[in-house]
Amino acid sequence: AIVEKELAQPATTAELKVAGNQLVTADGKPVWLQGLCLDSMEWGAGENILWSTHVALNDWHANVIRLPVYDKFWFGQAYKGTPAGNPERYREAVDQAVKLCAAHGAYLVLDLHAFGAPMPEHVVFWKDAAERYKNNPAVLFELFNEPHDISWKVWRDGGDLSADKAQHDDKAVVENTQKNSGQISVGMQALVDAVRSTGARNIVIAGGIGWSYDLSGLLHGFALEE
């Protein structure tokens, strides 16, 4: 009942834009996003997402929620023991989390929770998800969870993952067993282009190589283009 009351409130989230190395409101006021990641929708339908969001926003005073989602579940596909489900129900759960954040003037980072290298199916996901949430001021798009074991050239432009020049020395950790779905990556630029092709101007987040930590390539000619 508490969550339902909050969901009935109007959206109050201010639109953000990028100014140099800051996020700012339309009138130029800097905004510092601090929050947490709510896991579970990357391995299933979600576990207590709305109540966890309520606690994070009200009790922990977060102003941003990172919500990992998985493209196969977004399209209702089965994966690793999780049976095929209702894709619209999965998406509606995300809708509700977005609405709850917006009612608090907060933000939701929609994280495509994938590892390794951007693949063609991730373009398909972003064209669909960006169309759904385009120009919603409460939603930021995290294009790809953790790129790793790829060169900067492949990170940006894609390419054949089996080629020696495609490799990087940040080795996959033992805890991650998810493999790339194919041999040819589309690269991160293709994900930016997929979002923008829908007309969505939402802020995008692009982690670097080395499990998103390494951003050095941006200073050496591998920055993404808008």
Q: What is the mean pLDDT of residues 95-110?
A: 98
Tokens of 225: 């283009």
Neighbours of 171 (CB within 10 A): 9
Q: How does residue 156 score in pLDDT terms, banded at 50, 70 and 90?
A: very high
Q: Which tops the pLDDT comparison, 26 or 68?
A: 68
CA distance 164 to 217: 18
Percent of the chain with pLDDT over 70: 99
- Over the stretch 177-225, which tens digit does the pLDDT of each residue have? 788 989 999 999 999 999 999 999 999 999 999 999 999 999 999 999 9
At residue 2, the pLDDT reads 95
Q: What is the mean pLDDT of residues 97-107?
A: 98
Q: Is a pLDDT exceeding 80 seen at residue 171? A: no
Residue with token string 């790809």: 144
- Over the stretch 18-32, which tens digit does the pLDDT of each residue have? 999 999 999 999 999
How far does CA 163 lie from the centroid of its chain?
Answer: 28
At residue 90, the pLDDT reads 96
Q: Is a pLDDT exceeding 90 seen at residue 176? A: no
At residue 177, the pLDDT reads 77
Q: Is a pLDDT exceeding 90 seen at residue 81? A: no
CA distance 82 to 34: 32
Q: What is the mean pLDDT of residues 93-113?
A: 98
Q: How does residue 151 score in pLDDT terms, banded at 50, 70 and 90?
A: very high
Mean pLDDT value across the chain: 95
Residue with token string 């009351």: 5
Tokens of 166: 């495609």
Q: What is the mean pLDDT of residues 32-38?
A: 98
The closest alpha carbon to 113, from 10, 43, 22, 190, belongs to 43
CA distance 65 to 53: 7
Half-sphere exposure of 36 (CA within 13 A, CB side): 14
CA distance 102 to 119: 31
